[in-house]
């Protein structure tokens, strides 16, 4: 049996249910991994060892509540956890603590999960990098903005991390770190208690080491029972290079083309598909919406502590401030038109196969990479998942992304599970 901290959620749940593993043993194994690796990976803002073990002892003393009972979870530090850090990656909030749990955290507690601590985020979940490093190579970025959650899951510090995505902040770091990242349909996971960035785009997501673990976790954080789905058989997959294909590096091109060929050999109906021309404007529309809403979301910080806003963010502020309401409404209309067209696209496909990131994690700690292949799907509010799909020339992970129709989250997970088995 692997070390307890390396167990998947499904494996740990089975071991706990069978009486072969306790929540305390699992928590101790995860904490030992943190102690050994945190000086290098730097995934955490806050962990209270005594509190984690107290939660674990309480879980062992009561009946199991869910598949996440006794499972340690890392929470991105823009998601509130009562009496824990709420610094949002900014010196403006140094020492700040939340008074109550975010809705998704409250759901985890209700289900018997162990809230392990707060993971590192970039400044306000935007572009300024924080301290986290890629566990596969410490000279490379882990991606952002859910940097700590992706790196912590990848390094076996915990089996589940909560993140958020406004552009590509769950999918990209998951791809860079070689784990499974899932951005559900917009608002499927309640955002109460999450520091806002862009109210039209912000989405709470999940990071784990396998699709099954995502499927077990989603009903818990949504507090809705999963629908009964038959096993996916010969899925219909649209291989879509997207309007951003020119930004794909050789590692991503090789990974996604190999994945498409693998799925086809396994019996999937894989068809090359090109998005309608209207989608060429989607990336710019996402940018306009983000700029308009993010500037207003930071009104308090800009008024009271603008000198503490990073040098990364400062140059962007004039452009954000200049974004007109007319441009914002036009961008929202572009998105709405493409959402309608996308519904027709999914009449013929179970999922679209698209890149997760431009390539491997860049060799830098001064940038978290680009959301080139994620932002349009975030703006369109559809579910998306990244799967590990091999290594690039530097030996770092490369992922592929599957995108499904709005509201069909569990059907997308079923398709992703089918694809995951073929990629292993």
Which one of the listed residues 169, 174, 175, 200 is annotated catalytic? 169
Query: Which strand (E) or helix (H) includes residue 154?
Result: helix 147-154
Residue located via tokens 């912000």:
202
pLDDT tens-place string over residues 191-238: 999 999 999 999 999 999 999 999 999 999 999 999 988 888 899 999
Contact 152, 112 (CB under 8 A): no
Give 345-379 as a DSSP string: HTTS-SEEEEESSSSSPPS-SS-----TTTHHHHH
Quickly count: other Cβ atoms within 10 Å of residue 83's Cβ.
Answer: 13
Q: Which two tokens stand for residue 103?
A: 């809705």
Edge-to-edge strand list for the sheet holding 160-165: 44-46, 114-119, 72-76, 160-165, 203-208, 180-183, 384-391, 397-403, 351-355, 236-240, 269-273
What are the residues whose beta carbons fall under 8 Å from the beta carbon of 177, sequence distance 6 or more?
134, 135, 136, 142, 143, 150, 151, 153, 154, 361, 397
Indicate whether 65 pLDDT > 80. Answer: yes
Residue in 148, 153, 142, 140 with CA at minimum distance from that of residue 119: 148
Residue count of the chain: 424
Indicate whether 293 pLDDT > 80. Answer: yes
Q: Long-range pairs for 183-188 at CB < 8 Å and ≥24 separation? A: 183/374, 183/377, 183/378, 183/383, 183/384, 183/385, 184/218, 184/222, 184/383, 184/409, 185/381, 185/382, 185/383, 185/406, 185/407, 185/408, 185/409, 186/381, 186/406, 188/218, 188/222, 188/383, 188/409
pLDDT tens-place string over residues 122-151: 999 999 999 999 999 999 999 999 999 999
Indicate whether 99 pLDDT > 80. Answer: yes
Compute the average pLDDT of residues 178-188.
98
1 — pLDDT class (breaks 50, 70, 90) = low
Can you say whether the dihedral through the CA atoms of 234, 238, 241, 242 is positive or negative? negative
Residue 312 CA to residue 301 CA, distance in Å, equals: 15
Residue 259 CA to residue 257 CA, distance in Å, equals: 5
Contact 126, 136 (CB under 8 A): no
Query: Which strand (E) or helix (H) includes residue 400?
Result: strand 397-403
| Residue 65 main-chain phi, psi, to 5 deg | -100, -30
Residue 110 CA to residue 115 CA, distance in Å, equals: 11
2 — pLDDT class (breaks 50, 70, 90) = confident
Contact 192, 100 (CB under 8 A): no
Residues forming a β-bridge with 81: none
Q: Which CATH superfamily is domain 1-226+233-424 in?
A: Amidase signature (AS) domain (3.90.1300.10)
| Residue 226 main-chain phi, psi, to 5 deg | -70, 140
Please, how many CA atoms are within 13 Å of residue 41, restricted to the half-sphere of its CB?
28
Give 119-139 as a DSSP string: E---GGGSSS--S---TT-TT
Q: What is the pLDDT of residue 229?
A: 86
Indicate whether 322 pLDDT > 90. Answer: yes
Catalytic annotation present for 183: no
Tell me whether strands 269-273 and 351-355 are parallel, antiparallel or unpaired.
Answer: unpaired
Contact 404, 386 (CB under 8 A): no
Residue 97 CA to residue 88 CA, distance in Å, equals: 10
Which one of the listed residues 66, 85, 90, 145 is annotated catalytic? 145
115 — pLDDT class (breaks 50, 70, 90) = very high
DSSP label at residue 144: S
Query: Which strand (E) or helix (H) includes residue 270?
Result: strand 269-273
Residue in 191, 216, 217 with CA at minimum distance from that of residue 202: 191
Residue 305 CA to residue 123 CA, distance in Å, equals: 14
Looking at every residue in the chain, the average pLDDT score rounds to 97
Catalytic annotation present for 76: yes
Q: What is the pLDDT of residue 232?
A: 86
């Amino acid at each position: 049996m692997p070390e307890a901290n390396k167990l998947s959620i499904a494996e740990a749940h089975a071991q706990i249910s069978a009486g072969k593993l306790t929540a305390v043993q699992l928590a101790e194994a995860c904490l030992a991994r943190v102690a050994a690796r945190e000086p290098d990976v730097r995934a955490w803002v806050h962990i209270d060892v005594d509190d984690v073990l107290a939660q674990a002892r309480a879980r062992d003393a009561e009946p199991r509540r869910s598949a996440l009972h006794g499972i340690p979870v890392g929470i991105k530090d823009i998601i509130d956890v009562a009496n824990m850090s709420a610094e949002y990656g900014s010196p403006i909030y140094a020492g700040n603590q939340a008074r109550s749990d975010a809705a998704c955290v409250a759901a985890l507690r209700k289900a018997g999960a162990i809230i392990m601590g707060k993971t590192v985020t970039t400044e306000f979940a935007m572009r300024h990098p924080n301290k986290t490093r890629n566990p596969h190579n410490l000279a490379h970025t882990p991606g952002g903005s859910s940097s700590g959650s992706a790196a912590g899951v990848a390094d076996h510090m915990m089996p589940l991390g909560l993140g958020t995505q406004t552009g590509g902040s769950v999918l990209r770091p998951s791809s860079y770190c070689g784990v499974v990242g899932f951005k559900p349909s917009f608002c499927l996971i309640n955002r109460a208690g999450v520091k806002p960035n862009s109210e039209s785009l912000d989405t709470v997501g999940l990071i784990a080491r396998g699709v099954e673990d995502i499927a077990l976790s989603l009903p818990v954080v949504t507090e809705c029972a999963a629908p009964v789905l038959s096993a996916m058989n010969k899925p219909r997959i649209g291989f879509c290079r997207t309007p951003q294909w020119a930004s794909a590096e050789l590692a991503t091109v090789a990974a996604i083309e190999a994945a498409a060929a693998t799925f086809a050999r396994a019996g999937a109906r894989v068809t090359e598909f090109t998005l309608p021309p209207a989608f060429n404007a989607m990336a710019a529309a996402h940018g306009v919406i983000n700029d308009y809403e993010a500037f207003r979301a930071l009104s308090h910080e800009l008024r009271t502590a603008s000198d503490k806003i990073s040098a990364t963010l400062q140059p962007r502020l004039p452009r954000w401030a200049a974004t007109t309401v007319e441009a914002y409404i036009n961008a929202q209309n572009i998105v709405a038109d493409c959402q309608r067209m996308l519904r027709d696209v999914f009449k013929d496909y179970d999922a679209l196969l698209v890149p997760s990131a431009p390539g491997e994690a860049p060799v830098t700690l001064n940038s978290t990479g680009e959301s080139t292949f994620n932002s349009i799907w975030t703006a369109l509010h559809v579910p998306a998942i990244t799967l590990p799909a091999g290594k690039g020339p530097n030996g770092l992970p490369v992922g592929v992304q599957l995108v499904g129709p709005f509201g069909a989250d569990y059907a997308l997970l079923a398709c992703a599970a089918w694809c995951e088995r073929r990629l292993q």
